């Protein structure tokens, strides 16, 4: 589509002076959001699990024309939500060509554009911005300065133009003015030094910025959004109280509430479309991987304040598939089917994402992760085999049977060994797997059954992955209590 390239042509287009002067960024976001709501369109495609919690609060903040902050632990899609806000901006926005702060063609605020408009009038050149170009993001770090965010004197401009340092033409604009007529996002706001946070007061309340050394206030048109970890209020830094007071809405994000939501997110984000063999990821493997994250979020040995990022199951899934892919290539198999043993092989994708408490550190990260996987296997196993009779399989091991299942062993060899376990391959119906399924699929399912029995301590397994009979725990005799014992103790003399 051809758009006018001068201010004069712009006046005769849909970008009329009345519209551009009156419609600020927050009005634009509000109008486009209302249109989407009326049409029933998805507001944040790809964001799973927030439809009834976070999204309504964001909608309310935008409809209220608020600056807002997303508070949440790591891996809760905060940055993705902020970047998705560009979908609520107009497809094209005119500005005076060459302007560093994308000035309104009808009401410029910088000296350079005011002079340009006074000189060229209706012939002043116009250019256009896409929604992505109107989004400016800054990761807050302790070394960020006011000059980075707001601006400063540029002596090079002064020297080249022969201007005095007090001249507006010597201004070097920071990121915030450069986001004029767009969205400005700051990630990890508490990491911003307190004295730098003070520099945001004016833009949040009065709607203007003051640049060092210049007696002027720029009425910047910008929507401000932030992210923060709630624990950062007392950890690496904190959001100063006057700044929190000026932020319109504070919205809490969260991890997936259900395993199904977590599986959907992992399936969406994990790299599973490999350019190789056919890939079949069983549903129980997906559930086990997701249950590891859920178990970690409940484990007392893991720091709750740090959180368990959704990146954990995503990275774990990618490692699981890679281990299965490696095994399939080595054994010349045509179908890649992950097994439970591949989840254990993916421990390097898990351990680095856990912040352990003292008890967990004493136990060791590898041991904690193994126990998390075992817990995840047990919960998933119960979902499929809670009412299944697997006594025949347990008895085979009790009678002295054992089998070694290396995660590198090919499916044909493992399948031959599993056929010797009475009733094992006949018990896969709860998983929807029958005798006509490929051997790779049957082997994965049968190993899941054995891992589930091991997780419930009905059979044993060594570190070398040799499945054997479970250890029979001797029954403890019931302890008898002498009713006179408390009185006997009371008669003992005190030292």
The answer to whether 85 and 301 have CB atoms below 8 angstroms apart is no
Question: 426 phi and psi, to 5 degrees?
Answer: -90, -5
- In this prediction, residue 485 carries a pLDDT of 41
| Dist CA 200 CA 193 (whole Å) | 12
pLDDT of residue 472: 57
> Which residues of the chain are modeled with pLDDT < 50?
233-235, 473-495
| SS3 track for the chain | CCCCCEHHHHHCCCCCHHHHHHCCHHHHHHHHHHHHHHHCCCCCCCCCCCCCCHHHHHHHHHHCCCCEEEECCCCCCHHHHHHHHHHHCCCCEEEECCCCCCCCCCCCCCHHHHHHHHHHHHHCEEEEECCHHHEEEEECCCCCCHHHHCEEECHHHHHHHCCCCCCHHHEEECHHHHCCCEEEEEECHHHCCHHHHHHHHHHHHCCCEECCCCCCEECCCEEEEEEECHHHHCCCCCCCHHHHHHCCEEEECCCCCCHHHHHHHHHHHCCCCCCCCEECCCHHHHHHHHHHHHHHHHCCCECCCCCCCCHHHHHHHHHHHHHHHHHHHHCCCCEECCCHHHHHHCCHHHHCCCCECHHHHHHCHHHHHHHHHHHHHHHHHHHHHCCCCCHHHHHHHHCCCCEECCCCCCHHHHHHHHCCCCCCCCCCHHHCCCCCCCHHHHHHHHHHHHHHHHHCCCEEECCCCEEEECCCCCCCCCCCCCCCHHHHHHCCCCC
Tens-place pLDDT, residues 198-217: 989 989 988 888 887 677 78
Angle between helices 25-39 and 54-63 (to 10 degrees): 130
| Average pLDDT taken over every residue of the chain | 89
Question: Distance between CA atoms of 247 and 479, rounded to whole angstroms?
Answer: 62
Per-residue burial over 149-182, b if 16 or more Cβ lie within 10 Å, else e, is bbbbbbeeebeeeeeeeeebebbbbbbbbbbbbb
pLDDT attached to residue 215: 74
The alpha carbon of 269 is separated from its chain's Cα centroid by a whole number of angstroms, namely 10
Task: Measure the CA–CA gap between 459 and 150, rounded to whole angstroms.
Answer: 66
> How is residue 394 written in tokens?
């347990």
- The residues that bridge with 185 in the sheet, in sequence order, are 137, 225
Predicted confidence at residue 237, as pLDDT, reads 72
Q: Please count the other Cβ atoms lying within 10 Å of the Cβ belonging to residue 419.
A: 12
What is the structure's pLDDT at 231?
Answer: 67
Tell me what pLDDT residue 480 has.
Answer: 42
pLDDT, residue 374, reads 97
pTM: 0.86
């Amino acid at each position: 589509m051809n758009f006018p390239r001068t201010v004069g042509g712009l006046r005769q287009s849909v970008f009329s002076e009345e519209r551009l002067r009156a419609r600020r960024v927050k009005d634009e976001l509000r109008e486009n959001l209302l249109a989407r709501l009326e049409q029933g369109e998805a507001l944040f495609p790809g964001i799973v699990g927030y439809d009834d919690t976070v999204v309504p609060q964001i909608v309310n903040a935008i409809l209220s024309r608020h600056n807002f902050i997303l508070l949440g632990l790591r891996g809760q899609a905060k940055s993705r939500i902020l970047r998705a806000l560009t979908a609520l901006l107009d497809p094209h926005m005119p500005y005076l060509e060459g302007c560093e702060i994308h000035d309104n063609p009808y009401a410029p605020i910088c000296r350079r554009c005011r002079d340009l408009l006074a000189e060229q009038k209706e012939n002043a050149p116009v250019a256009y911005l896409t929604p992505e170009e109107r989004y400016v993001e800054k990761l807050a770090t302790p070394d960020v300065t006011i000059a980075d965010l707001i601006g400063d004197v540029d002596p090079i401009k002064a020297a080249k133009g022969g201007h005095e340092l007090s001249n507006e033409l010597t201004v070097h604009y920071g990121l915030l003015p450069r986001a004029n007529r767009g969205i400005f996002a700051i990630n990890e706001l508490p990491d911003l030094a307190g004295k730098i946070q003070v520099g945001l007061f004016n833009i949040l309340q009065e709607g203007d910025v003051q640049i060092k050394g210049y007696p002027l206030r720029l009425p910047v048109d910008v929507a401000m959004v932030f992210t923060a970890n709630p624990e950062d209020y007392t950890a690496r830094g904190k959001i100063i109280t006057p700044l929190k007071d000026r932020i319109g809405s504070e919205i809490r994000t969260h991890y997936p509430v259900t395993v199904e939501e977590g599986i959907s997110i992992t399936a969406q984000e994990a790299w599973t479309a490999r350019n190789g063999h056919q890939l079949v990821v069983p549903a129980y493997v997906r559930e086990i991987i997701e249950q590891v994250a859920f178990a970690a979020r409940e484990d007392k040995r893991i720091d709750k304040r740090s959180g368990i990022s959704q990146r954990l199951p995503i990275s774990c899934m990618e490692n699981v598939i890679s281990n299965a892919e490696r095994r399939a290539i080595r054994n010349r198999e045509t179908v890649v089917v992950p097994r439970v043993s591949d989840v254990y092989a993916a421990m390097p994708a898990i351990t680095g994402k856990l912040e352990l408490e003292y008890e967990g550190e004493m136990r060791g990260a590898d041991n904690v992760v193994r126990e998390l996987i075992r817990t995840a296997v047990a919960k998933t196993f119960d979902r499929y085999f809670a009412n299944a009779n697997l006594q025949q399989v347990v008895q085979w091991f009790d009678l002295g049977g054992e089998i070694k299942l290396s995660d590198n062993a090919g499916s044909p060899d493992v399948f031959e060994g599993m056929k010797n376990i009475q009733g094992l391959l006949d018990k896969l119906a709860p998983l929807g797997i029958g005798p006509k399924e490929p051997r790779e699929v049957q082997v994965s399912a049968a190993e899941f059954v054995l891992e589930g029995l091991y997780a419930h301590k009905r059979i044993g397994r060594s570190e070398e992955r040799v499945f054997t009979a479970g250890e029979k725990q001797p029954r403890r005799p019931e302890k008898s209590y002498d009713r006179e014992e408390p009185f006997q103790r009371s008669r003992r003399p005190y030292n």
